[in-house]
Amino acid sequence: MFCPTLTGLGERAHLLTREVNLSTHIADVVGLLEAEELNDVVLVGHSYGGMVITGVAARAKKRLRQLVYLDSAVIEDGECWSSAHAPEIQAERRRLARESSGGLSLPVPNAEVFGLSDPKDLEWVQRRMTPHPFAPYDETMHWGGAVGNGVPKLYVDCTVPLYAGLNPVKARYRGKPGWPFFELKTGHDAMVSAPAETAQLLLQFT
């Protein structure tokens, strides 16, 4: 099992520049697959990571067996991350990026927005978050075809509580052919709030 840290985030936060975008993060994961000579991979993308795994499937389909969109953003060919948000959310995110870092990054949010309630979980997540590169927000992506590039895919919908920012994405794909939905009755950060249940679900596809 591998859990790569994307450029400019976490322990790689020192690599953040204005050039770090979604294409950078796709290259991070493709590079891991190639360097570790991984095949028959179940690739999981959480939140923003849903767009990353879509890009990986577009570039490295032969190495993948299954895509799992874990309460994540999904965009189509020719769209960008901001396409998934209403105009007022786009404006707010651009304001936050501009005021916090001159447009370099999105500031760290309050961990409570991810549906966490346990004080220990909240404190643990809060102290580990780092600002998110802003360049991916408006980068138009070209997958060269349908989302997933023919790799089997599924969506894990975290429902208690719902993360409102993903409601338009879920409404767009729920019930659509080729998009089976699985429900987890936990919050957006399922791997924190319900680790056993999340692992059990994912292990069905290993």
Residue 31, helix vs strand vs coil: helix
**C-alpha to C-alpha distance for 162 and 166, rounded to whole angstroms:** 8
Helix/strand/coil (H/E/C) assignment for every residue in 146-176: CCCCCCCEEEEEECCCCCHHHHHHHHHHCCC
* Residues 195 and 168: beta-carbon distance below 8 Å: no
Catalytic position from the list 23, 47, 72, 193: 47
Residue 133, helix vs strand vs coil: strand
**C-alpha to C-alpha distance for 93 and 172, rounded to whole angstroms:** 22
Cis previous bond, 161, omega within 30: yes
- Residue 47 designated active-site: yes
**C-alpha to C-alpha distance for 93 and 75, rounded to whole angstroms:** 18
Question: Of the candidates 168, 169, 162, which has an alpha carbon nearest to the alpha carbon of residue 189?
Answer: 162
Residue 47, helix vs strand vs coil: coil
Give catalytic residue positions: 47
